[in-house]
Each structure stands twice: as C-alpha cells, then as structure tokens.
A and B are shown apart, each in its own frame.
Chain A
Amino acid sequence: MSAVSFNTPSFDLSSWRDAAKALQHQIGSIILGQERAIEFITIAIFARGHVLLEGDVGTGKTTLLRAFSHAIGGAFERIEGTSDLMPSDLIYNSYLNAQGQPRVDPGPLLRHGETLSIFFFNEINRARPQVHAMLLRLMAERSLFAFDRDYSFPFVQVFADRNRVEREETFELPAAARDRFFMEVHIEAPEDPEIRRQLIFDTRFHDTDRLIESTRAATVDYRLLDDVARAIQDQVYTSPTLQHYVVTLWDALTRPADHGIEIENVDMERLVQGGGSPRGLAFLVKAARVRAFLQGRDILLPEDIREVFFETVGHRVFFDPIYEMRQENLSRALCRAVLATVPAP
C-alpha cells in the first residue's frame, strides 16, 4: 500500500477552515448552548446538504438559521407549513393592486432568484404531501418549473423543522422524503443554568433582528461553498480500512443480530426493516469528511464517522411497526450499540 500525498491541494482549504471556525465562533457568540447544532449545521453547509431540524418550540431554530444566513450571505426565505398550504403558494402571489388590476408576483421561492441561499420550511409536517413533493424536487435538483420555464437555485440549502409535539393535522414525512435530508439535527434547550439565565434575562437575546445584525455579514461567500465542498470531498482521504469500517457499520445497522448487538426488551431479529441506504451512508461519509476538514485533518478517522453517525443515519433507519413509535430512542440506542460493537481499525 503506498503512502498518499496530501501536499498538493487544488484548493486552499486551510483559509476556508479558518473561515469555517470563525463562522462557528460568530454564530456561537449569539446562539448560546447550541455548540453541537452549530457544528452540525456548519458541516451541512460545507457539505451542501439539506437539514431537517427537530426540537422544541422556542429553542432558537429560526434565529440560528437566520444567523447562518446572515453570515454566509445570500437571501434567506422562510415559510410556515400549514395544512392548506399549496405548492403554488410558494411560487407566486396573486392579488389585486391599488388600481384594481389583477397581479401575479413571484412567491417566496422565486422572489430572490438565484441568490436564495437558505430556505427555511417551518413545521414541514403540517404541509401536505404535494408541498413535500415540490420541496423534494427543489432539494434534489435545486430547480423549479414555474411560469413556463425552469428556475434554478444553484446555492439553495433547505432547512426544515419538524414539529414533534403535535400529531393532529400533520402529514408525517414519508421515508423517501426523510432519506433526502442530509442530516436530522436535534435542537434542545440548553441545560446549563447560567446560559438559561442569560437567555431569559439578557435583553440582547430578545430582539433577534438586532442580535443578528450585530454580527459580521457574509463571513463566507455562499457562491463559493459548492467549490469548497467539492474540494473537501476530494481532499480528505479515506483508507481501505476506513471504507471497510463504514461497510461493516452499515451491515451491523441492517442486521444487528448478526453482530451480537442487543437492546433491552427488543427483538433484534425483527427490529430493523430498512437500515440506512446507499445515499444515507454516502451522506455519512460526506459529513464525516467535512468534520475531518473542520478538525484540520486530511484523513478520515473513525471518530469523524462516529461524531456524525446518528445525525446522518439515525433518521434513515426504519423499524418494525411495533417499534416505530419509539423510533427516536431506539435509533439512538441502535446507533450507539453499533458504534460500540464494530471495531475500527
């Protein structure tokens, strides 16, 4: 096996690493106690992946995304999912103007044209499957067909929020839709009492517009992110040992019983109906490479895989219906058990 040379980067990644660190630091200074979520969103941004956010209401998801949007530049657009929202509502507005003439204006998706960098879909599971379908096309192809022509959004990144509190009047995302998301990031309220105290009493955090404006705009250029992401994926090396590790992880995820993995009160033979997907595992490695880049490495280590494993793979594991109600806890337990069992190297 020959040694691999990392000496001739085609893209200067070290300055981009500094920029990414600065971005994380900048967001961390106004969004307190969400270091993990900030790291994952940074990873998603540098992997150009769409993210499904899940968390309680009022934990700062929108502020977090607006802060990122502010920092990477480009347009930020946000829409609330409701059960009567139709795909056309995203594309155009029709109204009567002051002169009483009917007008059709571009809707939230088209309004900013190609400069749209972050599109935040709040409470995506309140929207109907027709809207999901359109969003999936936007995510997969970064383009839309409207007004008899294709609109392209080369820099768009979709963030969606799934309300997990209510189940009434919601349309659960189908497996295929969840699989298209690069990551599912859980956002919890901070545990640290000091941070909680600041969030409640410090008036700086109450006016989100001013809070976001207080940070530097366009720390990184969203138009270059695609190239950076490609360079990261090209330049972080994955050894045959690591490739074998990831393949074994996938196998352990789909057939946990064969690897001697046990979870209390769960029949491991029938637990997993579908575990991961080639796309999911590719996303895993993609995210892990960005994590290695953020750590200042040009080789991918099992630590990187482990760090992003649950966020990229956890939501792609589909369980037997009798276990599906406990999906979140079980997938977390399964991921933990798989990582604790499969040896690396």
Chain B
Amino acid sequence: MPVLRLLLVAFILCGATAKAQILSIERQAPRPFGYFLGDLLNFDITITAEKGWDLQRASLPRPGPITYWLDLRRLSVEGSPASGKWRLHLTYQNFYDTLDTRQLTVPGLTLTFHSGAALAQAQVPPWGFNVSPLREVQPAFNDPQDLLRPDTPPPHIDQRNDRLGVIISGVLALLSLTGLAFERGWWPFHHRPSRPFSQAARLVHRHIGHDDNSIPGDRFRNALLAMHRAIDMKAGRRLFSEDIASFLVQHPAYKKEAESFARFFASSHRAFFASDERGAQTILPPDSLLAFSRQLATIERAAE
C-alpha cells in the first residue's frame, strides 16, 4: 500500500517563547482515500522540542471514542526531555457507515510541553480522508451450487531440489553413522574377542605342520615365537616361565595345561637361551608343540 508521506513543519502560534521551544512537527499519515467501515488508520507523529522540555502526558488524547464514528484504539509515546525527540504512534478506527463517498476529518491534537513553569504547545493539524460505502452485490444465480467457487488448483511445487537434498543428507547421515559406529566399535565394526591362540595354532601349523620329523631349527624357533607372542598377547605383558603360575590364576581355563606350559617354556629356553635346538626338540617334539597350540586354541574357543 502506498504510504503518503506528509511533511508538515508548523510553527505554532502560541507566543514567541513557545514557538522557539517546538522546533518541528512531522506527521506520517496513510493514504487519504479508499476507507471503509471498520478500517484502521495509523499515524506516526515526530515532534522535535528543545532539550529539557517534557511532554505533559495529560495533554495526550485518551484511547477510546473520539467522536461517535471515530475511536482511538492505541496510543504510544517514545521520547525523553534529554533527547528532545518525541514519537507518537496513534491508531484510529473508522466506524462511519457512509451511504456515499465523502470526506471526513480526524481532529487535530494539541500537545503541551513544559519546562519548569514555562509551557509550550504543539499543534498537530486535523487530517481529512475519504470514506466509501460498502454495497452488497446481488449475484445472478439459479442454482445455489453456483455460489461455490471451484477450489484453486494446488500450485505446482518443483521437488527435484528437495529430492536431491534428501538423498545427499541421507548419504551424509549414513556416512556419519558409519563413522560413529567405527569409532564406537558398534556392529559391524565391533571386534570379536581376539583369539591369539587360534591365530598362533594356524601359524604353528604353517611352520611345522607339514612334515613330522626333522624340523629345521629356524622353523621350530618361529613356531615357538608364534606361541610366545600369543601367550604375551593373552597375558597383556611379556610372560616368562616364572609367570606361568600367575597367568594360570588369571586364566584358569588353561590350568589343566600347566605341565604343557612348563614344557613349552623349558623347550623355548633350550632353543633361545642355551642355543640347543636338539635339546629343545627333545623336550617338546614338534608334534607335541602342534598339539599344545591346538589344545590352547580349543580351550580359547570354549572359554569365550
């Protein structure tokens, strides 16, 4: 709606002293025509007074009926004597039920400012506007159905962008979920309880499982090493022969293999620390080592 901007600077005729106190009155008024019964009219009035002059609240109009056809619905005031700027927001409502187009006038305002005992008045002039009558239009119809207008067809909404957005955000969500699952170790990234002995049994089989007599020293040593690493992993530290007892207390499932553990370490001692391969294989022949590794793997699977 076009807003008519009306600039009115008035020097109020209320004495030479008062004139000097009210520096300007500016009113922003709506369009002056095209009003019907019940329409609202909004005014913004800006008054510039000298600093130190205060608006007397009693001089403001009171919300309520102004005339028999005009109500003041709302009134608000912003401003302070220190700034000298005063803004008034007024909302009128027209109740004039006219039979023809005619001009009506919103009465002016007289606002009083004071500074100590001195008074000054600001005159806001009256404002004229045109009202129009509301007339019933008699529609030509035979069937009451004709009174019903067809529904507006729904507007076409282009969904391609939305669909693309859903797909992209879905993929992103899935990726984030995958990342979270990986980070938290959720399915399918949760690790199965590690089975060092099963792994070691496979390694031992690879090293010495093929021929049953005269295993070369390095392959036998590698098989022993695979078992050592598996035992270390199970214990969570480097396990030496003196630790077998505490290991078996922590992992009681292997208790019945205590003797085999002792033989394994005795053999390992000969192989690694006495440089005596033959002695090592005498204490723990390769097939016994293989059986030991398989036995531990079996217990490991059963213990889970």
Contact = CB atoms under 8 A, between A and B. Distances in A.
B238 interface: yes
B232 interface: yes
Given A301-B240, A301-B269, A4 B274 contact: yes
Contacts of B242: 303
Interface in B216-242: 217, 224-225, 228-229, 232, 237-238, 240-242
Interface stretch (A42-50, A169-177, A197-205, A334-342): A334-342
Contacts of B232: 343
Contact of B228 (A300, A340, A345): A345
Interface string B99-110: 000000000000
Contacts of A339: 238
A242 B240 CA distance: 13
B228 A3 contact: no
Interface residues of A, number: 23
B182 interface: no
B60 to A, nearest CB: 72
User: Interface residues of B: mostly helix, strand, loop or mixed?
Assistant: helix
Interface in A296-313: 299-303, 306
Nearest to B224: A345
Contact of B273 (A2, A239, A306, A342): A239
B127 interface: no
Nearest to B269: A301
B71 to A, nearest CB: 77
Contacts of A58: none
A240 interface: yes
Given A1-B217, A343-B232, A303 B274 contact: no
Given A1-B217, A3-B278, A3-B279, A341 B238 contact: yes
A343 B225 CA distance: 10
A1 B277 CA distance: 8
Contacts of B277: 1, 3
A36 to B, nearest CB: 14
Contacts of A240: 275
Given A1-B277, A345-B228, A340 B237 contact: yes
Given A1-B217, A3-B279, A301-B269, A344 B274 contact: no
Most A CB contacts (10 A, CB to CB) among B228, B229, B237, B240 go to B240
B272 interface: yes
Contacts of A342: 238
B238 A237 contact: no
B268 interface: yes
Given A1-B277, A3-B277, A303-B242, A241 B237 contact: no
B276 interface: yes
Given A343-B228, A345-B225, A345-B268, A302 B240 contact: yes
A97 B6 CA distance: 130
A235 B277 CA distance: 20
Nearest to B268: A345
A153 B259 CA distance: 50
Given A301-B269, A345-B268, A306 B275 contact: no
A241 B237 CA distance: 19
Given A343-B229, A343-B232, A345-B225, A3 B274 contact: yes
B217 A239 contact: no
Contact of A237 (B224, B228, B274): B274
26 contacts: A1-B275, A1-B277, A3-B276, A3-B277, A3-B278, A3-B279, A4-B275, A239-B273, A241-B273, A242-B273, A299-B274, A301-B241, A301-B273, A303-B241, A303-B242, A306-B240, A339-B238, A340-B238, A341-B238, A343-B228, A343-B238, A345-B224, A345-B228, A345-B268, A345-B271, A345-B272
Interface of A: 1-4, 237-242, 299-303, 306, 339-345
Which 3 A-B pairs rank lowest in CB-CB distance, beginning with the nearest? A345-B272, A241-B272, A340-B237
